[in-house]
Amino acid sequence: MKSVGIIGARGHTGAELIRLIAAHPGLELAFVSSRELEGQRVADSVPGHASDLRYVNLDAAVTAQQDVDAVVLALPNGKAAPYVAAIDAAAPSRIVVDLSADYRFDRQWYYGLPELTRTRYSGHKRISNPGCYATAMQLALAPLVDDLAAPPACFGVSGYSGAGTTPSDKNDLDKLRDNLMPYALTGHVHEREVSEQLGLPVEFMPHVAPHFRGITLTANLWLRQPTTRDAIRERYARGYTGEALIRLVDDPPWVSCIAGRHHCEIGAFALAPGGKRVVVVATLDNLLKGAATQALQNLNTALGFDELAGIPLTDGERA
């Protein structure tokens, strides 16, 4: 049995990760740290969690002294560095998985999008979890990257859970009602993240919608050479053969069908006249495959478990 602690577990992703770790056959949840929830029972704020574990409030120095196999940092962007520095000094062999953007551009860290990067993993102890939009974009684009004639243009729509729990316009239900809210239309951190990982410029336009969870990512792609829809579909099928958390569908996938599920759906593969323009649509749950499920994939790999251990796949996800 391996032990895991979570720092910054107040948010939506933290709750999902608590549920996944608690149900994992080889993991035990050693501590859950949240300044706002200190002293409260975890079960009172995470439905379905049955233990008597209570939230604690651990600073970086105390976190580094905890006797655990792995620590997951579920903190806002810009907050991870003190914890990483303290763990580097006190326990450099401890696994750290960071869910923020703080180390996604650090080449000393393993960037953990398993379906695309698992061959780069070589025992790394520091793992950066990709962003939710960035996961959807990369999975939608990767099979055609070598054939692109222009920067891909990606239109993304996320449920408001992606804005976190700190009050803002992007999670204000009164402002979101009957609305689609564009924001950060150039230079979004996930635009830079995907451009870095795929090695080409990517154009990304994010929006928030009034549903709670799930991302729809529509990618407009121009190809150097004309092709057929069947050839494109076959390219994706070859690229994702055997991937339990990627499901290809013929029609454009619906975000309502992915909420609460652990896989990414990719579909549409709509080809314009002339055969050089294709539109691909990807959907995933931003709190699961876009965050907690992917973190568990990375924890499993680093701790020696099967990559999919503890991920409750349905028959549809295993297909």
Q: Which residue in this structure is represented by tokens 């991937």? A: 243
Tokens for 276? 């050089």
* Other C-beta atoms lying within 10 Å of the C-beta of residue 315: 6
SS3 123: coil
The one-letter amino acid code at 32 reads: V
The one-letter amino acid code at 251 reads: D
| Distance, CA of 74 to CA of 8 (rounded, Å) | 5
Of the residues 132, 154, 257, 264, only one is catalytic, namely 132
Strands 203-209 and 153-159: parallel
Task: Decide: 197 and 190 in contact? Cβ < 8 Å.
Answer: no
| Distance, CA of 274 to CA of 276 (rounded, Å) | 6
Strands 215-222 and 153-159: antiparallel
> Judging by beta carbons within 10 Å of its beta carbon (0-12, 13-18, 19+), is residue 219 exposed, middle or buried?
buried
| Alpha carbon separation from 93 to 24, 129, 241, 261, 305 (Å, rounded) | 22, 18, 33, 32, 17
HSE-CB at 315 with a 13 A cutoff on CA atoms is 0
Question: Known catalytic residue: 264?
Answer: no
The residues assigned a catalytic role are 132
